[in-house]
Amino acid sequence: MSEQLPLSLDASADPPTLFDGTTRLYISYICPYAQRTWIARNYKGLQDKIKLVPINLQNRPRWYKEKVYPVNKVPALEHNNQVKGESLDLLKYIDENFEGPKLFPNDPAKQQFATELLDYSDTFNEVNHPAIASKGDVPYELDAAFDKLEEALAKFDDGPFFLGEFSLVDIAYAPFIERFQCGFQALKNYDITKGRPRLAKWTEELNKIDAYTATKGDPEEFLHALKKRFGIE
Ligand SMILES: N[C@@H](CCC(=O)N[C@@H](CS)C(=O)NCC(=O)O)C(=O)O
């Protein structure tokens, strides 16, 4: 049965009873960084152990910055009387500190490749964002960035994911690829999976994972947010 998602808390909402022993994951439904941690929580089957607390970023409650996470961004995890942030750090933290299927492999070759791909994820996003706003065809750098992913998917052949089996690397990329796939198709008529069979298979297999599909956003909302962010008519 799918989880009943809580409503986002805005400036008028009271804070939760902080540091009462409840583990809370502060997210925003529209934030790709937060989505990473939400997928990890779902995949490890921690729906009853980690409570989702969605925040309305446009009309944020003051207590979030003042009492929960002074950095004032999502995601943040309240656990064991501490609040931690940064989505990639949180993926590892959730994997190491909670039960459920492992997201980080034991194989040293896979661990090393995971580190490389996680390090590359910010660069990948930095190439994609201006490409969406660029005039005319997509720039060469964008093709190269997706070709790099296609190549990475060839490295381990024991499954369709970056490290073969599903891992935190897929989780790190999924929310962004979801948005870029939709944005490039709608705004540039560019299909990121065309001529990239491994990436096509990756998206197909990803979309069979409930932990991920339960977190997917509305494509219309993505487009609206992208157009607003980049001033596209
Ligand atoms: N590096 C951070 C980035 C998190 C982030 O930028 N979150 C955005 C929402 S998608 C946010 O909270 N923005 C609020 C703000 O900057 O005021 C991570 O990976 O967790």
The minimum-distance atom of ligand 1 relative to the CA of 75 is: 20
Task: Tell me the two tokens of residue 141.
Answer: 């750098």
Q: Is the CB of 72 under 6 A from ligand 1?
A: yes
In CATH, what number does 23-97 get?
3.40.30.10
User: Distances in Å between the alpha carbon of 67 and those of 49, 53, 62, 82?
Assistant: 22, 14, 8, 11
Task: Give me the tens of pLDDT residue by residue for the chain, a chain 233 residues long.
Answer: 689 999 999 999 999 999 999 999 999 999 999 999 999 999 999 999 999 999 999 999 999 999 999 999 999 999 999 999 999 999 999 999 999 999 999 999 999 999 999 999 999 999 988 888 888 888 899 999 999 999 999 999 999 999 999 999 999 999 999 999 999 999 999 999 999 999 999 999 999 999 999 999 999 988 898 888 888 76
CATH number of 108-230: 1.20.1050.10
Indicate the domain borders of the chain. Answer: 23-97, 108-230
Task: Give the three-class secondary structure for 23.
Answer: strand
Q: Is 19 exposed, middle or buried (0-12, 13-18, 19+ CB in 10 A)?
A: middle
Give the integer Cα–Cα distance in Å for 211 and 192: 23
Rounded distance from Cα 38 to ligand 1 centre (Å): 14
